[in-house]
Amino acid sequence: MTTNSVVLDVDGVLADFEKAFCEKFGYNKRHCVNLEQRYPKDTDLIDLFVNFSPVYEKLDTIPIGCEISKWCDKKGFGIHVVSSRPDYVTWTTSTWLKRNKIPFHYLSVANIPKVDRIIRINPLFVVEDILSTCLKCAEFGIPSFLVDWPWNQSDNLPKLVKRIHNFDEFQEKVDEIW
């Protein structure tokens, strides 16, 4: 069943968690998606940082994700914001989205497999920053837009995964998935 829904990730797409993390811990090993692999000696501090709700209240927005969200809203898509953030920051995440005037219709914040939630939604497409999530979505026939970051580099993207650097590039490639 085809839906009129799209899925947008929060961190790395709408919210700049990376900037906040790097300001706290440094800019080393940004090619690693796993934060503990970047700074293995700081795993306890990283765990505290990631699980500290106020961190999520002050994040900057990422222009490409905000523009995509507004574009999707104008097109009449049901916007599902799906995140792997801890579930106790659901209210914080919702408040942050509203305060930053980012359109969305549904919010799913939980420590359960993200791809399972995405498959249940059966969206027209996903906008994500984690390569493995995009690859799993492609296995289920769900197209993805991969927002370009140092941790998601690959030359071998399947046809259903489109790397994007800016909103204009998203607009150019959106027709390729239909």
Residue 1 has pLDDT above 50, yes or no: no
Shared domain for 78 and 143, answered yes or no, is yes
Give the pLDDT confidence of 97-134 residue by residue, as tens digits.
999 999 999 999 987 789 999 999 999 999 999 999 99
Shared domain for 81 and 32, answered yes or no, is no
Shared domain for 10 and 77, answered yes or no, is yes
Shared domain for 137 and 120, answered yes or no, is yes
Shared domain for 99 and 167, answered yes or no, is yes
Give residue 18's pLDDT.
Answer: 97
Q: What mean pLDDT comes out for the span 69-92?
A: 95
Q: Round the average pLDDT of the chain to a whole number and report it.
A: 94
Domain count, the chain: 2
Give the pLDDT confidence of 16-42 residue by residue, as tens digits.
999 999 999 999 999 999 999 999 999
Shared domain for 96 and 137, answered yes or no, is yes
Shared domain for 97 and 131, answered yes or no, is yes
- The dihedral over CA atoms of 105, 107, 112, 117, expressed in degrees to the nearest 10, equals 0
**H helix intervals, 89-176:** 90-99, 114-121, 131-139, 167-174
Shared domain for 84 and 27, answered yes or no, is no
Give the pLDDT confidence of 42-53 residue by residue, as tens digits.
999 999 999 999
Least confident of 2-11, 31-40, 77-86: 2-11
Shared domain for 123 and 168, answered yes or no, is yes
Shared domain for 83 and 144, answered yes or no, is yes
Give residue 98's pLDDT.
Answer: 98
- The full 3-state SS of 28-88, as one line of letters, equals CCCCCCCHHHHCHHHHHHHHHHHCCHHHHHCCCECHHHHHHHHHHHHHCCEEEEEECCCHH
Shared domain for 92 and 81, answered yes or no, is yes
Asked if 50 contacts 17 with a C-beta cutoff of 8 angstroms, the reply is no
Shared domain for 23 and 89, answered yes or no, is no
The proportion of the chain whose per-residue pLDDT surpasses 70, expressed as a percent, equals 98
Residue 178 has pLDDT above 70, yes or no: no
> By residue range, what is the domain housing residue 30?
17-56
CATH of the domain at 121: 3.40.50.1000
Tokens found for residue 137: 């979505």
The pTM of this model reads 0.94
